[in-house]
């Protein structure tokens, strides 16, 4: 499989790859988190047969579905631990606020071990780390704790 990355000024980045079977697929990653999947004609690499727009939440969900090695539960001393990826959307009451305002560990027992941002990864973010729309929190805890934190971040 070959992959090509192209910067699209003012838009984001386009990733093109060709599968071993010869199918050309393109992903356009917009700066605002939106994604577009493009499927191209094998005989005409400029002819897009289908374009599928995805919201940031849809792109995250799809990436989890096609991940060949998903983060499954790990068993530790009789406690099932899971890793969750929690998107910070424009509807989150914590967008623009410090991570400490969530009181995640106190309220749910789950820990935020990293924040994925389009431009960087922040491992072990402290309570002063300011969350932004488009961030993805990587949380570890029980299934119940991670699910509760997902609800808190979503504003539920």
CATH code at position 138: 3.30.70.1450
64 in a domain, yes or no? no
Q: How far is CA 133 from CA 34, 37, 42, in A?
A: 12, 22, 37
Question: Which one is predicted more confidently, 44 or 137?
Answer: 137
Residue 23 in domain: yes
Residue 87 lies in a domain: yes
Same domain, 49 and 83: no
Nearest CA-CA partner of 23 in 8, 5, 1, 6: 1
**CA-derived radius of gyration, the chain:** 18
- Measured distance CA(6)–CA(28) in Å, rounded: 9
β-partners of residue 76 are 79
Q: Rounded mean pLDDT of 141-145?
A: 90
pLDDT value for 70: 54
Domain membership flag for residue 124: yes
Do residues 14 and 47 share a domain? yes
pLDDT at residue 69 in the model: 58
pTM of the model as a whole: 0.54
Provide the number of structural domains found in the chain. 2
What's the mean pLDDT when you consider all of the chain? 86
Higher pLDDT, 64 or 127: 127
Q: How far is CA 47 from the centre of its chain?
A: 29
Q: Are residues 84 and 22 in the same domain?
A: no
Model confidence pLDDT, tens digit, residues 17-72: 888 888 889 999 888 888 999 998 888 878 889 999 988 878 877 877 777 655 55
Cα 20 → chain centroid: 26
How far apart CA 54 and CA 60 sit, in angstroms, is: 9
Q: What is the pLDDT of residue 68?
A: 62
Identify the pLDDT of residue 150. 93
79 with 42, same domain: the answer is: no
In a domain, 94, yes or no: yes
Residue 66 lies in a domain: no
User: Are 89 and 147 contained in the same domain?
Assistant: yes
Local structure of residue 98 (DSSP, 8 states): B
The domain containing residue 127 runs over which residues?
A: 74-154
45 within some domain: yes
**Residues 78, 149 within the same domain:** yes
């Amino acid at each position: 499989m070959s992959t090509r990355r192209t910067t699209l000024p003012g838009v984001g980045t386009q990733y093109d790859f060709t599968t071993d079977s010869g199918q050309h697929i393109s992903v356009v990653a917009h700066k605002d988190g939106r994604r577009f999947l493009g499927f191209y004609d094998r005989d005409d690499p400029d002819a897009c047969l289908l374009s599928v727009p995805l919201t940031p939440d849809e792109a995250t969900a799809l990436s989890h579905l096609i991940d060949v090695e998903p983060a499954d539960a790990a068993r530790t001393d009789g406690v099932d631990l899971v890793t969750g990826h929690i998107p910070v959307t424009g509807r989150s009451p914590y967008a623009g606020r410090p991570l400490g305002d969530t009181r995640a560990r106190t309220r749910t027992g789950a820990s935020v071990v990293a924040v994925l941002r389009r431009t960087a990864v922040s491992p072990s973010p402290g309570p002063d780390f300011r969350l932004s729309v488009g961030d993805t929190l990587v949380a570890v805890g029980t299934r119940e704790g991670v699910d509760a934190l997902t609800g808190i971040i979503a504003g539920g």
